[in-house]
Amino acid sequence: MVSYLLQRLVLLVPTFIGVTLIGFLIMRLAPGDPAELRAAGGLRGAAGAGISLEKRGVVDEALVQWRAQYGLDRPMHIQYAIWVKNLFTLNFGESFKDNQPVWHKILERLPVTVKLNIFSILLVYIVAIPLGIYSATHLNSWSDQTATFGAFVLFAVPLVWAATMAIVFLCGGDFLYLFPPGGLNSLDYSPDWPLWEKVSDQAWYLFLPVVLLSYDGFAGLSRYMRASMLEVLGQDFVRVARAKGLSERVVILKHVLRNSLIPLVTILASILPGLIGGSVIIETVFSIPGLGQLGYEAVLARDYPTVLTLFTVSALLTLIGILLSDILLVLVDPRIAFGRRGQ
């Protein structure tokens, strides 16, 4: 097992380098110039009326200065080499926007995004797995079809629309006022509040974002679960179990469910990067300062250090996730062994 792990770990290195090279090239070859964007007064200036353009004539000299300051005037391959070198010394560079270390900016936003994603992943699993089981055991019944239909309808509802509707109807304004329309804490929130109040305040603010972040996951995962259950249900040992006279409950929950969970382990691989992935849409609509927002704004502003760091981190987490799920698969399924079978 140790040699297998080593082998896998060594293989990660070229994969990782390939990924960073592609990421770097995509980002750098995309049209757009961070210096120009800064000269135009940040994103708002550029998207708006073209304000600040009157400085144009004298600004070119400033652009040259600015590029030199960040080393953007050097040849591309040298910039890549410098960047990779810095990566290995864990120096992720400084944001073009405010000269702050990118790493600080990420750490600042990490807790929010992780919190949001943990809750939403939990919610997806709590809802989707029972739903899948139910659908599989009540195959083609009226309720199975309703559940399927419902899941797909949810899957098809665009998130931006749903989120905007939720804000308009449920968050004050002219209709119901059940939840706050955005943000993370109440205006008068203070760290001195008793724990219970802090938790309930947080729950009140996170409820809508978490629900909205989860609903389209219901369809995917419950379908997955249903298919997996159906496959196992058709196997001989299930018939044997039933023939032995086991109750249907035991058959389903003990024998079928356990076996049909195995394929789900592979999905776990995507959870790790998903934890920091963040949702651009939800974070934007609800003004939640998470990593999705950070990444999105960085891409628009061509803030290369920030984008590339986020990209690298999620690439790394994906690779680790895949490795972990491979290991987990061996642990839950005795039919799979480490290394090449039969050696």
Q: Which residues bind another protein (CB under 8 A)?
A: 31-33, 36-63, 65-66, 69, 94, 97-100, 108-109, 164, 167-168, 171-175, 177, 180-185, 187-191, 284-290, 293, 297
User: Residue 200 CB, nearest distance to another protein (Å)?
Assistant: 17
Per-residue CA distances from 35 to 42, 72, 75, 97, 238 (Å): 10, 9, 16, 10, 65
Q: Are 45 and 52 in contact (CB under 8 A)?
A: yes
Closest CB to another protein among 129 and 299?
299
Residue with Cβ nearer another protein (17 or 165): 165
The least CB distance from residue 99 to another protein, in Å, is 5
Q: What is the DSSP string of 213-238?
A: HHHHHHHHHHHHHHHHHHHHHTSHHH
Q: How far is the CB of 179 from another protein (least distance, A)?
A: 10
Q: Which is nearer to another protein, 288 or 322 (CB)?
A: 288
Q: How far is the CB of 6 from another protein (least distance, A)?
A: 41
Q: How far is it, in rounded angstroms, from Cα 339 to Cα 341?
A: 6
In whole angstroms, give the CA distance from residue 8 to residue 6: 5
Q: How far is the CB of 289 from another protein (least distance, A)?
A: 2
Long-range contacts of 307-313 (CB under 8 A, 24+ apart): 307/27, 308/20, 308/23, 308/24, 308/27, 308/83, 309/92, 309/93, 309/102, 309/103, 309/106, 310/106, 311/20, 311/23, 311/27, 312/19, 312/20, 312/23, 312/87, 312/92, 313/106, 313/276
Query: Given the complex with another protein, which of 40 and 219 has the nearer CB atom?
Result: 40
Minimal distance, residue 171 CB to another protein, in Å: 5
Give 233 or 285: the residue with its C-beta nearer to another protein: 285
42 vs 71 by CB, closer to another protein = 42
